[in-house]
Amino acid sequence: MTQGAEPPTDEELVEAVLEGDRERFGVLVDRYQGRLVSYLFRLLRNVDDAHDLAQDVLVKVYQVLDRFDAQFKFSTWLFRVAQNAAIDQIRRRRLKLVSLRQDDDEGEGRDWDLPSPERGPYGEMRNRERGDAIQEAIDALPWEYRELILLRHFGELPYEEIAHLKQMPLGTVKNKLFRGRQMLKEKLQDFLED
Amino acid sequence: MTRPDHSTYREWLNLDADGALPAESRARLDEHLAACPECRAERAELFALSNLLQRSSVPVRPDFRQQVMSSLPSAGWESRSPRTWAFPAAVFALLAGVAAFTMGGRGAHSSLLSALTAVAGMFRASAVAGAGLISASWKGLGMAFAATLSSPMSLGAFGVFVLCVNLVLVSLLRRRRSGAAEAGRERSRR
């Protein structure tokens, strides 16, 4: 285990947990909870569901921690489990990933409150608009771009890990991310100057 | 050195926004940006987009970590031991030592050889016994299968048995699913 100022790597933490130091799993939870919840939120579009599923994913990962292959990245494994779990949940609940408005019509509530320095009625309205616009722009992306954009910008995975997770050539990952970003930029043009 | 085309600069701008631009490309990109307003605007937009997406991250509930840690079950691997090769290696060394001791009286070299032979013999005996057990199990299974197929009555009884087992499994699965759904609803209410 690394000592001193160097924080332990994910793989070292996993090894420590497997050797009986259960509390070290908490360090991994701290490390990934923000990214995991944000990533799942963008897929499920509900804060409570995102938290619940993130918890389920972490518990599931803990249960099979001994199957983790240390030659791969822990984050790749974690987000693969998370993505599969989210897809299962979306299928089960028949969430439609086409439009937030449509969801509102059907009674599927949006449920988030974006952190922002903007205060007051106008600021809150602007935040709300921005949150809606981001979600709509993400939902409008074809799945092959959306999943990569979410893994990169909310899961914060590097290109190499995304390529490994999706079993795609690195060049394809880069290309799809660039194209996905172009689409997002076009949709979110009004908010890029805020 | 050949001059990169515009699509290459666009690719570099994306890499730059992700913090993944190689150092050797940085200087050339900066040089290009100084002379290309279009790419400067593209760069500003890409960074604004990254910033916008980052700002839209969802804050995690303060008690999330505690909830995860308190809901960790005792995983199967926790009770499985040994988890490393240390224990089997120690057992092997102990067996070898015992074998060497019981064969004592000879030279050190022949003692070690005898010990290894004894341990190898022990593993061989275990393998033979295991193979015999598997073989006997297969024979027993074959006999049971033959007996089941021997008459329509026993075949029918076997069919009813399989049906009952399936019904029990389906009801267990349904109960588990409804329990999980209830737990999910409970969490949502919370």
- What is the domain partition of chain A in residue ranges? 10-191
Judge whether B24 lies within some domain: yes
Verify that B124 and B97 share a domain, yes or no. yes
Residue with the larger pLDDT of the pair A122 and B66: B66
User: Could you tell me the residue range of the domain that residue B112 belongs to?
Assistant: 86-138
Query: Which amino acid belongs to residue A112?
Result: W
Looking at the domain assignment, is residue B20 inside a domain?
Answer: yes
The percent of residues in chain A predicted with pLDDT above 90, rounded, is: 63
- Where does the pLDDT of residue A80 fall: very low under 50, low under 70, confident under 90, or very high at 90 and above? very high
Report the alpha-carbon distance of residue A50 to residue B59 in Å, rounded.
Answer: 11
Does any CB of chain A come closer than 8 Å to the CB of residue B189? no
Q: Is B70 exposed, middle or buried (0-12, 13-18, 19+ CB in 10 A)?
A: exposed
Average pLDDT over residues A82-96: 83
Q: Is residue B49 part of a domain?
A: yes
A178 and B48 in contact by Cβ < 8 A? no
B64 vs A34: CA distance, rounded Å: 10
| Residue B60, in any domain of the structure | no
| Same structural domain, B155 and B186 | yes
Total domains in the fold of chain B: 3
B77 within domain boundaries: no
pLDDT of residue A103: 46
B54/A194: higher pLDDT = B54
pLDDT over 60 (residue B126): yes
Handedness of CA B61, A116, A82, B83 (dihedral sign): negative
Closest Cβ opposite residue B69 in set A18, A26, A41? A26
Q: Tokens standing for B52?
A: 């916008």
Banded model confidence at residue A99, pLDDT cuts 50, 70, 90: very low
Residues B120 and B92 in one domain: yes
Q: Which of residues 70-109 of B touch A (CB under 8 A)?
A: 71-73, 75-78, 80, 83
Average pLDDT, chain A: 84
My answer on whether B10 and B51 are in the same domain is yes
Q: Which of B16, B34, B55 is the last residue of a domain?
A: B55
Residue (of A151, A180, A181) closest to A165 by Cα position = A151
- Indicate the residue type of B50: S
- Is B48 in Cβ contact with A193 (below 8 Å)? yes
Q: Is the Cα dihedral A17, A22, A26, A29 positive or negative?
A: positive
Phi first, then psi: give them for residue B156, nearest 5 degrees: -60, -45
A77 to chain B, closest Cα gap in Å? 18
Give the pLDDT of residue A109. 41
Residue B41 lies in a domain: yes
CATH no. for A10-191: 1.10.1740.10
> B158 lies in a domain?
yes
Judge if the upstream peptide bond of residue B82 is cis by omega within 30 degrees of 0.
Answer: yes
Encoded tokens for B111: 């003692």
What integer pLDDT is reported at residue B137 of this predicted model?
Answer: 85
% of chain A at pLDDT higher than 70: 81
pLDDT for the residue A111: 44
In chain B, % of residues over pLDDT 70 = 77
The maximal CA–CA distance of chain A, rounded, in angstroms, is: 55
Residue B62 inside a domain? The answer is: no
